[in-house]
Structure 1
Amino acid sequence: MLLAIAGVTAKVKVDFYGEALCPYCAKFLTETAAPLFAEGFAPYMDFRYVAYGNAKNTSDGLECQHGPEECLENRALLCAIGDATNQTDWFPFALCLSENHTPEAIGLCTHAAKLDGEAIHKCMNGDLGSELVRSAAKETAGLDPPHTYVPWIVVNGVAIEVLVYI
């Protein structure tokens, strides 16, 4: 899955714009992205997850489409992605979180993915977590064309339509 342009080989860039409690995003992670990782395609792609989705900044603060728990899990995802060395480190966390939505899910998934839970919680509760959310909001708002639903997938700079049925 390498892209060859004029003799230069580059990774395929896949940007996934989603949100933690979206069932369609979970389906994309488990049925599309996970098999790519499992089949060994990770070295050939630069897979990014921008966990913001359909959240909105209001006068009352950040409102996520599926409620406050989604805002918390989105922040956890952004912190885990920011803390991880590479996509194969954070992807198991994202996959675990897409399958577990309990109060203990963040800790469970941090442990299962062998990530630094203390660093992720410090990020979530601090300025870094807030900055990561602002950055995700800005990037999501700057999509061209603008996203109209999630999951919103951009491959090598081109938005593609993903039909996901549950």
Structure 2
Amino acid sequence: MKLSGLFGVFLLMCVDLRSFGMSHPKPSCRYPPSQWCRSLEIAIECKVQKQCMEVNATRPNQSVPPVSVTLYYESLCPACRVFITQQLFPTWTMLQDIMSVTLVPYGNAKELPSENSPFTCQHGEPECRGNMIEACVIHLTGHSAFQIINCMESSANVLNAAQPCLQLYAPSVSWSSVDSCLNGGLGNQLMHANAVMTRALNPEHTHVPWVTFNGEYTEENEDKAMSSLFHLVCQLYKGVKPPACNGAPVRLNRGFC
């Protein structure tokens, strides 16, 4: 996985240090660092029980709801890829305790009354396949889905990266299960559900990436999200701000498809 610029590298370094203290343990286990505190069993296997207990003790008040961020996007849209890899994933990496992310791969696609080709996409058939791969990944991998999709969107070839990214971040999920989703009826069902969600947007989306916060879209929040999503999530969170929110915002260029 490759995050753009020093900001991405800094965030990855920060999340490791934030989660496990100033010294970086090197346990021998089959899980990536992002999953070490996912369950007690994993923490024991990776020998990081103490560090995970410290992390859990400093989490924000769980009675305050997290900021709900929903991204409507397309797998091959350049502006979507930039937003995912340079804004959304780095922000989630640092602020996942106070935000939740929902990904809806569909965007400007169209649903057609055809059994053979039920969808058309803005960037052609490869994008339709990429959208469906990511919909299947989200359905099959749950907690690891965002890391897999960021890995794909960070790669030179989104579709070719799907299988190695899956193996890296969700080794217990076989590629054959994704393939079955793509070639069976499940993939089309998932894409239809995404189409319904996208068509239900109010106001109707006019471009992608299209981002809602706590189920609502405003141009003001879109402007803030495209320039500094990290700062906006900190601003919208109603609980005590985590220490990461005390940093200065990083402003990036915006773009749409």
Give me the TM-score of the superposition, normalised by structure 1.
0.86
> 1:17-166 to 2 correspondence within 5 Å?
17-39=72-94, 41-58=95-112, 61-86=118-143, 89-100=144-155, 101=157, 104-115=160-171, 116=173, 117-159=175-217, 160-162=221-223, 163=226, 164-165=254-255
Cα gap change, 1:84/1:43 in structure 2, threshold over 3 Å: closer, same or farther? farther
Higher radius of gyration, 1 or 2: 2
Shift of 1:105: 2.1
> Any gaps of 5 or more consecutive residues in structure 2?
1-59, 227-253
RMSD: 2.2
> 1:4-19 to 2 correspondence within 5 Å?
8-19=63-74
Q: Which has the higher strand share?
A: 1
Identity rate, percent: 31
Deviations 1:113-134 (A, max 9, x none): 2252222221111111111000
The CA distance in 1 between the partners of 2:79 and 2:89, in whole Å, is: 14
Give me the TM-score of the superposition, normalised by structure 2.
0.57
Give aligned pairs, total.
Answer: 159
- 1:9 counterpart SS class: coil
8 A Cα contact 1:15 1:50, kept in partner: yes
Deviations 1:71-111 (A, max 9, x none): 1110011111111232xx11111111112326522212222
- 1:49 counterpart SS class: strand
> Any gaps of 5 or more consecutive residues in structure 1?
none
Name which of structure 1's ranges 75-84 and 58-67 shifts more when overlaid on structure 2: 58-67
| Higher relative contact order structure (alpha carbons within 8 Å, sequence separation ≥ 6) | 1
Shift of 1:112: 2.5
